Amino acid sequence: MSIFSIGAILVGFSALFGYINHRLFHLPHTIGLVVIALLASLSIIGLDLITPSFQIGQRVSSVLRMIDFNETLMHGMLSFLMFAGALHADFSAIKNSRLTIGVMAVFGTLISTFLIGVSMWFLLGFFEFKIPFIWALVFGALISPTDPVAVLSLFKTVNVPESLQAKMTGESYLTTELGLSYSQLY
CA dist., res. 173 & res. 83, Å (int): 11
Q: Is 146 exposed, middle or buried (0-12, 13-18, 19+ CB in 10 A)?
A: buried
Query: How many residues are present in the chain?
Result: 186
User: To which H or E segment does residue 142 belong?
Assistant: helix 133-143
C-alpha angle with apex 14: 59 to 45, nearest 5 degrees?
35
* pLDDT tens, residue order, the chain (186 aa): 676 787 788 789 889 999 999 999 998 887 888 999 999 999 999 999 999 999 999 988 988 888 887 777 777 777 777 777 777 778 888 889 999 998 988 898 899 999 999 999 999 999 999 999 999 999 998 888 777 777 777 777 788 888 888 888 888 888 877 665 555 544
User: Which residues, at least 6 apart from 2, have a Cβ–Cβ distance to it below 8 Å?
Assistant: none
What is the reported pTM?
Answer: 0.62
Note whether 113 and 140 are within 8 A (CB).
yes
Please say whether the beta carbons of 52 and 68 come within 8 A. no
Question: For residue 71, what pLDDT is reported?
Answer: 79
Give the per-residue pLDDT at 64.
84
pLDDT of residue 14: 86
Buried b / exposed e along 79-94 (16+ C-beta atoms within 10 A): eebbeebeeebeeeeb
**CA 154 → CA 33, 41, 69, 105, 148, distances in Å?**
13, 25, 25, 19, 10
pLDDT score for 87? 78
Distance CA 152, CA 150 (A): 6
Residue 55 phi/psi, 5° resolution?
50, 50
Rounded Cα distance, 155 and 136, in Å: 31
Cα distances (angstroms) measured from residue 115 to each of 67, 79, 100, 127: 33, 29, 21, 18
For 28-37, which contacts have Cβ atoms below 8 Å and span 24 or more sequence positions? 28/153, 28/154, 28/157, 29/153, 29/157, 30/149, 30/150, 30/153, 30/154
Q: Where are the domains of the chain?
A: 3-67, 91-183
Supply the pLDDT for residue 186.
Answer: 47
